[in-house]
Each structure stands twice: as C-alpha cells, then as structure tokens.
C-alpha cells in the first residue's frame, strides 16, 4: 500500500471527513480535519485548500490525497454530517477563509 493510500485510509478510519450541511438550502461544505489545520475540499472541482494540492497540481496535475479521501469516504458512506442553519453559512465561510 502506498503512503497516500495509508493516509487516505487513516483519514477515513479516524472519521476526519466532515460534511457541513446547511438547511434548508442543502448547501454543502466538505472538510478534513488535518494534523495541524482543517482543510476545505470542493469534490466537484477537485479542489483542496492544502498547500500539497497547490504544488501537486502545478507539478503533475494530480490532486492531493484529501480530495481522494473525500471520494472514498463518500463511496463507503464513512463521513460525519454536521448540520447548520442557512443563517450560519456566512460566518462559517468567514471562519474557513480566515484559517487559510
């Protein structure tokens, strides 16, 4: 098993994949709790806020293991859903942006 596969399995097994679901709009924000910070992932555009994503995409057009973790977690239905009201969306986004 590769290092990335080990990392992906560890993220999923430790339940570090989170779906933040806003209601009633059903807007979704996916995050992964990392060792040092939380990463925001957009699985629809294969984007991650981690520095590894940025450098990986520049070098070899390959997304980071966080993006792959979301895909696998969705397939295996192994992620935590955290529900919010729509009026909490703006402050949630502000919190994500301030941590980048």
pLDDT, tens digit, 9 for 90 and up, residues 34-83: 888 889 999 998 899 888 888 887 788 788 899 999 999 999 999 999 99
The domain ranges of the chain are 3-98
Q: In this predicted structure, what is the pLDDT of residue 100? A: 63
> pTM value?
0.87
Give CA separation, 31 vs 18, 34, 59, 60, in Å. 5, 9, 24, 24
Q: List strands edge to edge, sheet with 80-85.
A: 47-48, 38-42, 27-33, 17-23, 80-85
Model confidence over 5-31: pLDDT tens digits?
999 999 999 999 999 999 999 999 999
Q: In this predicted structure, what is the pLDDT of residue 88? A: 96
């Amino acid at each position: 098993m590769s290092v990335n596969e080990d990392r992906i399995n560890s993220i999923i097994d430790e339940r570090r994949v989170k779906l933040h679901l806003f209601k009633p709009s059903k807007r979704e924000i996916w995050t992964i709790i990392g060792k040092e910070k939380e990463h925001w992932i957009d699985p629809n555009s294969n984007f991650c806020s981690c520095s590894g994503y940025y450098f990986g995409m520049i070098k070899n057009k390959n997304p980071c293991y966080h993006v792959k973790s979301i895909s696998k977690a969705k397939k295996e239905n192994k992620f935590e859903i955290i529900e919010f009201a729509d009026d909490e969306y703006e402050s949630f986004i502000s919190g994500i942006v301030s941590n980048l």
